[in-house]
């Protein structure tokens, strides 16, 4: 229960502070600020709760670590449920805050492709972007947390990796690389976001699975 609670709280923080920076302060802090906000959420949770649950905060990360032989099968589903619920709780609070002055939620930082991509990128482009970005994210996570990696620096590498990912892919998809983050926002937007949600579940998981296999292969050599 401690691990699941840590995943709930950690994912809540990622969605609330990360998506919140885009929803509530995006016009002021811009692309760089939003990217840093997401990176900082992972960095802060990694060092505050990583010792409890590993600070996955992301179903794709949990699945990638499992495929890579670094996570137990019995904990996969409880982690994913906790992450999704944490994301939904954060999105709910953001909804209350955003509409507290009579404003509408707009796109609510939801992920999209085609007409709902910030740069109007095609579905295939968005799929490849999300898959490759998640692949690299997992390779960095798996590499920086490997037993032979320098101790104590994994949180920094992972946080900076997520910052870089957002710098590149916000203009393409609004950046997911995290199904829990995408689900939470899409539920409140409804409309176009729900029919497009599949891509932001399938592509990150595909990238994570590939990274898990590649990491396992490299380790075996």
Q: Give the mean pLDDT per block of 10 residues along the chain (221 residues).
A: 96 97 95 97 95 95 95 96 98 96 91 97 98 97 84 89 97 98 96 97 98 85 52
Which pLDDT does position 221 carry in this prediction? 52
Which pLDDT does position 35 carry in this prediction? 97
Packed helices 123-144 and 154-173: angle between N→C axes, nearest 10 degrees: 180
Look up the pTM and report it. 0.93
Strands (DSSP E) contained in the chain are none
Q: Are 201 and 183 in contact (CB under 8 A)?
A: yes
Which pLDDT does position 145 carry in this prediction? 85
| Rounded distance between C-alpha atoms, residue 77 and residue 153, angstroms | 28
Which pLDDT does position 72 carry in this prediction? 94
Which pLDDT does position 217 carry in this prediction? 84
Which pLDDT does position 185 carry in this prediction? 97
Which pLDDT does position 220 carry in this prediction? 56
Smallest CA-to-CA distance from 131 within 87, 99, 95, 172 is with 172
Smallest CA-to-CA distance from 61 within 158, 149, 187 is with 158
Q: Which two tokens stand for residue 147?
A: 């037993």
Q: Which two tokens stand for residue 158?
A: 């992972």
Which pLDDT does position 153 carry in this prediction? 86
Q: Are 92 and 176 in contact (CB under 8 A)?
A: no
CATH 1.20.1080.10 fits 2-220, yes or no: yes
């Amino acid at each position: 229960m401690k691990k699941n609670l840590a995943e709930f709280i950690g994912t809540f923080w990622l969605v609330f502070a990360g998506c919140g920076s885009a929803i509530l302060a995006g016009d002021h802090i811009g692309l760089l600020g939003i990217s840093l906000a997401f990176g900082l959420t992972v960095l802060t949770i990694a060092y505050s709760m990583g010792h409890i649950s590993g600070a996955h905060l992301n179903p794709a990360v949990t699945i990638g670590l499992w495929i890579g032989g670094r996570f137990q099968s019995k904990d996969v589903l409880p982690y994913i449920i906790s992450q999704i619920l944490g994301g939904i709780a954060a999105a709910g609070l953001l909804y209350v805050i955003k509409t507290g002055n009579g404003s509408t939620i707009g796109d609510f930082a939801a992920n999209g492709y085609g007409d709902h991509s910030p740069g109007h990128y095609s579905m295939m482009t968005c799929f490849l972007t999300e898959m490759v970005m998640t692949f690299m994210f997992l390779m960095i996570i798996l590499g920086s947390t490997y037993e032979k990696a320098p101790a104590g620096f994994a949180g920094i590498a992972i946080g900076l990796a997520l910052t870089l990912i957002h710098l590149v892919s916000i203009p393409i998809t609004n950046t997911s690389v995290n199904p829990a983050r995408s689900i939470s926002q899409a539920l409140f937007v409804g409309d176009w976001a729900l029919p497009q949600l599949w891509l932001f579940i399938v592509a990150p998981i595909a990238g994570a699975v590939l990274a898990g296999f590649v990491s396992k292969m490299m380790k075996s050599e």
